[in-house]
Amino acid sequence: MASGGRWRSRSALRSLFLLVTLVLNIKLMLFIFGPEEPAVPPRNLTVLIWHWPFYRPLDLTGDVCADLYNIKRCHLTADREKYNFSDVVVFHHVELVKEGQVVATMARPPGQKWVWATLESPSNIRGVSKWNNIFNWTLSYREDADIFVPYGRMVPRSSPNTYNFNRTGMAAWVVSHYKKTQERAQFVHELSSHLNVDIYGRANRRPLCPTCLIPTVSHYFFYLALENSVHRDYITEKLWQNSFTAGAVPVVLGPPRENYERFVPSDSFIHISDFPSPKDLTKFLLTMAPQRYRQFFRWREELEVKLYTDWRERFCMICTKYTSLQQNKVYTDLEGWFNKSDQQQ
């Protein structure tokens, strides 16, 4: 009787264990979205890049999309002479604004799609409303953009999991544009009265060369991944690169925790709103047992980070979505759509 009961409870325990493992795995799998093999368009597509983002041209010799990103039948060009033969023309917002409204009146070959591209948040760009009724598709970090291009994403681990726990500093923050009035500056100010925060960047007269950032941050337990503005899905390289790639645990300020959890495992980051005050957060950071700290690295057993940093890859991604997108779409209220990211959820 007793042993039967024990057996039953043991088997119940085993079922529970299996269930928990299954749920955990499904949870991990959820971050792996998008087809691994990109969709191949039925014919060769030509994507014309109207302006190079920030006027920084990149090399387009060879079959760039196929050679670098395994995206086939996708030809990128920056040659405006090819306008009449382009399936897609992509306009990056910053330069578009500088060049003015003339492009809006250009005659369009039938079926050609115009893509509005930006990776900036609504707080960082201006003049979007002038571009209503012009664009067919959007390319952005917003998950609901036609071409969703995040700053990074979780993919199944393919390379060995190499990181160490050799840390000498507590928390690091890298900032280039520092404004005292910003929420994040006030947060760091409060935090640093309880915690040792090393601040790098031009603003603080401690510049870091671009290749020094990752090695520097990798000596810290925590990285303050504070977004410059709070908008849905606006989760930038501050999380993906400065924290995850460097191997420091991110302390994030940005959209709500649930929004982060759409893209990364819940135990890969610390959200400042998990704590009632910076003081409580500091207490958690300072008193964390090594065991707890290691838990923030568990996702790395199965997942790794893929960064999206090259504009050519972002533009090649237009081709992978081309056939699945609505073909006769028009953004009548582009700014309204873009502003919608302010609504949390």
Ligand X SMILES: *[C@@H]1O[C@H](CO)[C@@H](O)[C@H](O)[C@H]1NC(C)=O
- Footprint of ligand X (CB under 6 A): 44, 63, 73, 81, 83-84, 111, 113-114, 129, 133-134, 136, 164, 166, 168, 219, 327-330, 335-336, 339
Tokens 């382009």 belong to residue: 86
Provide the minimum distance between the beta carbon of 63 and ligand X in the complex, in angstroms, as a whole number. Answer: 5
Euclidean distance between CA atoms 330 and 339, whole angstroms? 17
Q: How many CB atoms lie within 10 A of CB 68?
A: 14
Q: Which is nearer to ligand X, 63 or 183 (CB)?
A: 63
Q: Which is nearer to ligand X, 101 or 129 (CB)?
A: 129
Distances (CA, A) of 38 to 69, 91, 188, 342, 345: 9, 23, 41, 31, 28
* 64 or 252: CB nearest ligand X: 64
Q: How far is the CB of 115 from ligand X (least distance, A)?
A: 10
Tell me the three state secondary structure of residue 8: helix
Q: How far is CA 48 from the centre of its chain?
A: 24
Q: How far is the CB of 119 from ligand X (least distance, A)?
A: 18
Strands (DSSP E) contained in the chain are: 45-49, 74-77, 88-92, 113-117, 137-140, 147-148, 152-156, 169-174, 197-200, 220-226, 249-253, 270-271, 303-307
List phi, psi (to 5°) of 46.
-115, 125
Cβ closer to ligand X: 135 or 260?
135
Q: How far apart are CA 223 and CA 246, in angstroms?
A: 9
| Euclidean distance between CA atoms 303 and 49, whole angstroms | 33
d(CA 345, CA 233): 10
- Give the Cα separation of 243 and 251 in Å (integer): 9
Bridging pattern class, strands 303-307 and 152-156: antiparallel
Q: How far is 201 from 178, CA to CA, in rounded Å?
A: 9
7 vs 163 by CB, closer to ligand X: 163
What torsion do the CA atoms of 256, 260, 261, 267 make, to the nearest 10 degrees? -100
- Say how far residue 320 (Cα) sits from the centre of its chain: 18
Indicate which residue of 36, 81, 95, 120 is catalytic. 120
Q: How far is the CB of 1 from ligand X (least distance, A)?
A: 56
Annotated active-site residue 120? The verdict is: yes
Beta bridge partners of 181: none
- Give the nearer residue to ligand X in terms of CB position, either 83 or 308: 83
- As measured in angstroms, the least distance from the Cβ of 24 to ligand X is 31
Taking the CA atoms of the chain, what radius of gyration do you get in angstroms?
Answer: 23
User: DSSP string covering 321-342, please?
Assistant: HHTTS-TT---TTHHHHHHGGG
For the bound state, the minimum distance from the C-beta of residue 170 to ligand X, rounded and expressed in Å, comes to 14
CB of 266 to ligand X, least distance (A): 29
Would you state the structure tokens that stand for residue 116, as one six-digit string?
A: 């509005």
Q: Which positions are catalytic?
A: 120
